[in-house]
Amino acid sequence: MRTFRNTLCAVFVIIALLSALAVWVAYVTVWYQWQGVFGALIGLFTSPGFVIFPFIYWVVENAFPVNYFVLWGISMASWLLAGLAYTED
């Protein structure tokens, strides 16, 4: 049972990391589309600002970034499930 829970925890951590990576890649891509190579550098060296950046995107593009929040929610839910599945035996 412990092996199953640890494997489940690892799967949830991998899902959380992949969805967080997708959020970051989307962030860098948007900066690149807005500012070109300089924007890509901005995106590489700054964090997505999980709370602020979607609202900046909403104002600039006039479209609410639903996919951004979906990926962020998947990441947070996966971290929660990984924490619940983790055992320290």
pLDDT computed for residue 89 by the predictor: 65
Structurally, how many domains does the chain consist of? 1
Question: How many angstroms separate the CA atoms of 19 and 38, rounded?
Answer: 25
Residue range of the domain that includes 71 = 2-85
Q: Is the pLDDT of residue 14 over 90?
A: yes
pLDDT at 32: 92
The three-state DSSP-derived secondary structure of 16-70 is HHHHHHHHHHHHHHHHHHHHCHHHHHHHHHCCCCCCCHHHHHHHHHCCCCHHHHH
Span 23-75, pLDDT tens digits:
888 888 988 998 999 988 888 887 776 667 888 889 999 998 888 888 888 98
pTM score of the predicted model = 0.76
